[in-house]
Structure 1
């Protein structure tokens, strides 16, 4: 395992695209791109917490602007323009399919204030269409991924210790909800898919990333010295965003400067999307 970047804040949402890893530093409100040699640049600044991203077909980066309830699209020159109006607040992770459908989930309470938990939801922002809710009753919706054939959306439910799957219809609607994997005491945050159909999930309290097959068998575990927030595959390199976790209601949720982007080699490559 090697450290690709260090000295960051709450780092999340790694996405492999066109030979570079894109990730968000929620503390700084920045989206970074880093090459495998460590050369990096800031590609967007959005003061949003959460601050998650996804790539659309056609090479457009979509950014969740949670406080303002909207999705932003990065244009070729680097400008951020409105992509979809979500309304409300509390937007968290995001995924997209090959047709341009964007799925974004919402936490329906403020965990940072100690507010009592309420189940969250998943919304769909289709290309050119109105935003609509397509799933509910996710205790704490976190990482999401769409299978390469665009037929299945997998959602991490951190509070229920599960990965939940839905069938995707031609119009983007979700159906046939099921538990894809029961993780026991695992607390899934960000997730990614590999070419064998397994899911890697990051686990903050247990300070690890785990690879699981459908049904829940654990295939591999990578232990860390700090909380693992999310992961992404670029070929056979697993990238992990990690930081020292102090708790949701702490004045500083992560220890300043403890954020790292890590890289470790694995056997099975990714599928080109989270």
Structure 2
């Protein structure tokens, strides 16, 4: 069994894109004044665009987890990671291209393809080896479950995610509405996009501001919890305390997030590598 839930990040963006595009096509065939429900299809499509970085990262991390597991399939994480970047980029360039759906579906179908527990040609020794491998996997899983030392990392992850959404949505907003020709095209064809995209930026900005103290407190408490645990990793309290303090300065000096947020992402990467699933 693969100890990874990153496949959710692979499945969600294509699903939102398909649902949004289908709903938009259906809404175009319905006559009548627009309603509040007409915003939802465009919201789904825009959310799928915002989650494209999550798709690429999740595809790479999940493929790496599958390759390191006892599964019979060993995908190349680098290959799938490149596919997770190239497919959305080409899809955006071609407009309405289903490459994101194709790549995500191909990976998930292969990942969850059922295996025959008793294939022909496997003798008792092989079954015994498989049983031993399962026992080792169960022991490793139980060991990881005992290492769930803290959930304070969620505060760090939410803040990093909020700033990641801003990093994608703000340039997208500038490209879509910052140019008069593009803005005119958007408001004439799908005006809900012109309404919803600034709303996404606003919500992400509010979340990033609200989470400023949450990030700092969560980082400090999570570092302390990890140091007090038996996972064998002792992150430097002084270094990460400075990162937490620097992030608090965003209240006075907003651009300090350029230092603290990447550092928070690096901490999450280190934590995942040293601790595993929290």
Q: TM-score, normalised by structure 1?
A: 0.24
Q: TM-score, normalised by structure 2?
A: 0.24
Structure (1 or 2) with the greater strand fraction? 1
